[in-house]
Structure 1
Amino acid sequence: MATYEDYDSFELTWEDQEDWLLPKVLEHQAEQRGDETFLQWETTDRTVSFAETNRIVNRLAHGLRDHGIEKGDHVLLMLPNSPEYLFLWFALSKIGAVEVPVNTSYKRDTLTHVANLTEAEFGVFHEDFVSRIDEVESELTHLESVAVLGDDSASAPSDSGLEFMPYEELESEDEANPDTDLAYHDVASIIMTSGTTGPSKAIQKTYAHQYFFSEQCVNLVQLTEDDVYMTGNPLFHSNAQVLVVFPALIAGAKVCLFEKFSASNWVDRLHETGATVCNFLGSMMDFVYQQPEREIDDRNELRCLFAAPTAYGIQEEFEERYGIEYTAEVIGTTETCMPVMSPYGVDRPEGAAGLLLSEYFDVQLVDPETDQPVEDGQMGEYAIRPKIPWIMTPGYYGMPEKTEEAMRNCWFHTGDGLRRDEDGWFSFVDRIGDTLRRRGENISTYEVEQPILEHPAVEECAVVGESAAEEGGEDEVKAFVVFKEGRSATPKELTEWCNDRMPYFMIPRFLEFVDELPKTSNEKIQKEKLRDRGNSEATWDRTESEVMISKD
């Protein structure tokens, strides 16, 4: 059975784990690359060299220490993408403090949850979000001080019990590298999960975990000092940090950072930045593809697109349209790095994301009920364990019961359903909770949703199982559909569309057209809320209509 190493070598820039420290990498690159550009902010003239980045970061690191922040302290960062966010993240690493990114959509209960769970006493907030602190101040159990980034010095509430200060007070004049006793197994950051079925969990990431994640990306996209890596993905997510910024730092590449992703401006950004590598999440690939074609689409320097997941239905056309050499993919999690990777330049079987990086990980696909391995070709839960220490999370902060649950039987259980073919290629199927069973057929909701999403009138779709008493308690397929503005389709049209694109047993019996889907603050669809709705007068039932489907 093939592994990643059968197709490509996996190389570490720093082989000794003692060196797997972001501050050490930054200081090395500042010394070796000096005035070479590390960071470009959007398409402006604001650029920062490796050496200047290190000087700015050092001033902040000493300033944070002057305000009482020490090794092991948890610090909230609630900021939009900006150079200042990157500098603060690096500065916290320099002194061994733990960065706690806060999703900028968080408010009230979600904001209170992350602040209290992580026991952070200090935070840096953009002025636009200070009012959210004021709304929940009485519920905050640990937060004491807040630095405010922005132009409005009056944004801090005058009657607050918290101490507020302008961001500028964190900047010292000391540009020397701070002396900090760091170890690769120390916790460097806490990243919040999305919490689709309960409160968000706080994923602890060590310095080694951060570093290895980033080295994987360097290998995955074949990143070098000649590359320009562009992203508008939010820095409060792990993706932008360890799959864009830190890999570029390791490779000596240039980062072009934007405040937000823009599908309509993506091609223009490619031209203006000279980007050679770009990173997509979720539906970004499709959003870009839906833009009107332009003569300049393929007149760019882009050679590699890292798209997780890859939109297989449009991949070939997308690559041809934009002149892309290779689309890379992985199957990983924030907790585990990326055990499954696509070897660069290798054609993958249809729908396959990659092969096991066997030198560093063991993977099993198991029955979620029994933890027994399933046979090749069958869907099983993605279970992982590392072959070297500290490249996976040491656990969820403040939730030991969740850590124990995830690490059942000495394997980390991801909750993802995968298949492995006889040659070793892994394909994502669905979240384990997002599969249903109809008349003896196991159905992946993902595999029903994708063809529906390809309909020109459909903006979003979520498929769930709807109980049907006449079916002996098993599920019938139900699809919730959101149409694009100004577009629509009838239930009959959608059913015929599905009939042409999926097995008959996957075609939804129930359709319900809605204005929006319930989502978490991380934009993940909350399917449990859709399941709880049940059917209503707004639900269309195919069996009660005259619409017929073919079993051919």
Structure 2
Amino acid sequence: MYSGISDLRRWSFPAVIEEQAEAQGDRVAVTMTTTGERLTYRELRDDAARVAGMLAAAGAAAGDRIAVMLPNGLDFLRAWAGIARLSATAVILNAELTGSFLAHPLSDAAPSILIVDARYWPRLADLDAATASLRTIFVVGDHVPGTSAFDAWRAAEPSSAPLPRADDIACIMYTSGTTGAPKGVLMPHAHCFLFGLGVVENAGVTADDIYYVCLPLSHANGLLMQIGAVLIAGASAMLRERFSAAGWLPDLIRSGATLTNALGAISAFVQAQPPGERDRDHRLRLLIAAPNLPDHDRCWRERFGIADVLSGYGMTETNIALYGRRGEPRPGTCGGVYPRFEVRIADPETDIPVATGEVGEIMVRPCVPGGFMAGYLNLPGKTVEAWRNLWFHTGDAGRIDADGHVTFVDRIKDCIRRRGENISATDIEAALEDFPGIDQIAAYAVPSDIPGGEDEIMCAIVASAGAAIDTAALAAHAASRMPRFAQPRFIEFMPALPRTATEKVRRADLRKRGVTSATLDLDVRSEKRDT
């Protein structure tokens, strides 16, 4: 176990990696499930130092922003750890982003260096304005003219720069909010560390554990909660490039994994697989699921024989403030308050706490310095608004019971969550509003037809006078401009959108209306349960 847990000044993953490289040496830290490639603790430290050296030779220095757009893999970990070793800031981009969804974080963060997989290179072709800040581009995989090979790190001089401070900004992750484009969350090293520490302390992670990681490393769950917990505990990770429902159980059995995390959609997809004789032939002792619906909890325990299923609640901004307790199953709730945070349920208009059992907004604040985001990049007004009255306003409604367990009720904000992604409704609208024949459009969430499958995306459309909209062409248009998770499944043509007296769209009315007999289903893709 990392020795710096009690010293807040040592809350950074570069410090963890340095210590574990000495303590664990040639013990394997991460193994790829599909290829068998491995990275030991010593190799992770040494590779990170060489990546940092390569970046420094390219002109990068402490505090500079370096964007990373890579799939799950050892190169992702080398890049992330190398940027941190240099005390630079990683701008972590979702590997599925394209079009305006990709242009926004690039132009907003204005990184000086980009590390990108060759498979994603074509997506940058029409983003000249968004990539104007880039001085150097390192490409993983096939050579791209005019760029540098990321593999050059192997011959680089290792960096010996000082390790970052706990309050330095480690990375920027983009998360959707109530309105407008996704916001860049400024995440200090201590904040990133606390994601992993929360898992270690609540799931009881030890060096004997094997963590199966199938969630994207571009999100805090995969990278910071799971890989982070592994590094702090000196455990091992089995990393899959992309989640597969069919491959989930075979991976667990082959790897001997003892821990894993699941989002609502993953729980639904795995449990939809046909029951088999080998459902209990794994070593999984604990699973962290969010949300943890009662039917899912029952299936995890009864069908798969998993002893502990923990709920949780958090955000990129707030860390994970609520966890279930081992040995105390409370399916349907988010768990109790993790003691490194304070949580209250309050009236969203007045911020006055509501009575036990009543519904209000979930508000959070940390008990440790650096254990929270440092703000939104380039958006001081939004930062102050979210932090008003010294509580972070999550925009989610919930209630707390007499035992201190919090139950999520609904979203106050107009943010859609689909396939583990938070998606801004306005981003969807902006990507589709210029399609021929659309006069007005409003995107909103409707319940998935898969229990626990989070949301599906629906768009209400008002057509221009006399226009006939080709829905197949609209679906193709969406596919060409948007990542898969953001493409609407349902549309409904309406004569007008419901609006307030100040002309704001009444999305709550649209959500309440939901799918009707007039709704058209665009999902002709026969989407597999491998997202």
TM-score band (shorter)? Answer: 0.7 to 0.9
Paired position in structure 2 for 1:353: 334
The residue that corresponds to 2:429 in the other structure is none
Give the corresponding residue for 2:202.
Answer: 220
The whole-number CA distance in structure 1 between the counterparts of 2:478 and 2:347 is 30
Check conservation: 2:65, 2:109, Cα contact below 8 A. yes
SS in 2 for 1:135: coil
Shift of 1:388: 2.1
Aligned pair in 2 of structure 1 residues 460, 334: CA closer, same or farther (>3 Å)?
Answer: closer
Alpha-carbon distance, 1:267 to partner: 0.9
Matched residue SS, 2:382: helix
Query: 5+ residue gaps in structure 2?
Result: 416-443, 461-474, 499-509, 519-531
2:517 matched to 1:540? yes
Aligned to 2:471: none
Q: Does 1:194 align with 2:172?
A: no
Query: Are the counterparts in 2 of residues 300 and 323 from structure 1 also a CA contact under 8 Å?
Result: no
1:92 is matched with 83
- Alignment-derived partner of residue 410 in structure 2: 430
RMSD: 3.3
Instruction: Find the counterpart in structure 1 of residue 148 from structure 2.
Output: 165
Judging changes above 3 Å, is the alpha-carbon distance between structure 1 residues 99 and 301 closer, same or farther for their aligned structure 2 residues?
A: same
Write out per-residue CA displacement over residues 92-151 of structure 1, whole angstroms, 9 at most, x where no aligned residue: 01010101111122122122211111121110111111112121114434123211110x
TM-score, length basis structure 2: 0.80
Paired residue type of 2:105: V
- 1:523 aligned to which of 485, 490, 504: 485
Change (3 A) 1:76 1:139: closer
Does structure 2 retain, via aligned residues, the 8 Å contact 1:231–1:244? yes
Distance 2:4 2:257 in 1: 23
Which stretch shifts more, 189-198 or 263-272? 189-198
Paired letter, 2:68: L
**TM-aligned CA deviation for residue 171 of structure 1:** 3.4
Letter of the structure 1 residue corresponding to residue 332 of structure 2:
G
User: What is the Cα deviation at residue 420 of structure 1?
Assistant: 0.5
2:319 maps to 1:319: no
**In 1, distance between residues paired with 2:6 and 2:32?**
31
Q: Quick one: structure 1 residues 37 and 170, their matched pair in 2 at CA, closer, same or farther if it must change by over 3 Å?
A: closer
> Residues 539 and 362 of structure 1: is their aligned pair in 2 closer, same or farther, counting only changes over 3 Å?
closer
4+ residue runs of structure 1 moved beyond 4 angstroms? 458-465, 514-522, 524-536
In structure 2, how many angstroms separate the alpha carbons of the residues matched to 1:464 and 1:308? 26
Give the partner amino acid of 1:35: D
Following superposition, the deviation at residue 524 of structure 1 comes to 6.1
| 1:371 counterpart = 2:351 | yes
Work out the number of aligned pairs and report it. Answer: 460
Q: Do the aligned residues in 1 keep the contact of 2:98 with 2:482 (CA within 8 Å)?
A: no
Does the C-alpha gap of structure 1 residues 117 and 410 become closer, same or farther in structure 2, counting only changes over 3 Å?
A: same
Question: 1:522 offset after TM fit, Å?
Answer: 8.1
Equivalences for residues 34-73 of structure 1 within 5 A: 34-73=25-64
The alignment's TM-score, normalised by the length of structure 1, stands at 0.77
AA partner of residue 393 (structure 1)? M
Name the larger-Rg structure: 1
SS of the aligned residue for 1:178 comes to coil
Match of 2:393 in 1: 413
Deviation string 1:177-233 (CA, Å, 9 cap, x unpaired) is 622252110000000003563201000110111111110011122111111101121
1:179 corresponds to which letter in structure 2? A
Query: Are the counterparts in 2 of residues 71 and 95 from structure 1 also a CA contact under 8 Å?
Result: yes
* SS of residue matched to 1:197: coil
| Conserved? CA contact 1:60–1:172, under 8 Å | no
Q: Match of 1:337?
A: 319
Which residue identity is paired with 1:351? Answer: G
Residue 502 (structure 1) aligns with: none
Q: Which of 48, 70, 76 pairs up with 1:79? A: 70
1:207 aligned partner: 189
Change (3 A) 1:128 1:57: same
CA contact (8 A) 2:286 2:309 kept: yes
Shift in Å, 1:516: 13
1-side partners of 2:228 and 2:32: how far apart?
16
**Aligned-pair distance for 1:13?**
5.6
| SS in structure 2 at match of 1:416 | strand
**Unaligned segments of structure 1, at least 5 residues:** 1-10, 157-162, 436-445, 466-513, 542-552
Q: What is residue 388 of structure 1 aligned with on the other side? A: 368
CA distance in structure 2 between the aligned counterparts of 1:228 and 1:533, rounded to whole angstroms: 51
CA change 1:527–1:286 in 2 (3 A) is: closer
Measure, in 2, the Cα distance between the counterparts of 1:340 and 1:272: 32
Write the distance in 2 (CA, Å) between the matches of 1:121 and 1:38. Answer: 30
Q: What is the letter of the counterpart of residue 517 of structure 2? A: W
CA separation of 1:236 and 1:434: change in aligned 2, threshold 3 A: closer
Q: Which amino acid aligns with 1:402?
A: K
Deviation, structure 1 residue 463:
8.9
Contact in 2 for aligned 1:197/1:528 (Cα 8 Å): no
1:547 maps to: none
8 Å CA contact retained: 2:73, 2:241: yes
1:250 shift after superposition: 0.5
String of CA shifts for 1:498-527, please: whole Å, max 9, x gaps. xxxxxxxxxxxxxxxx99999974836879
Shift of 1:433: 3.5
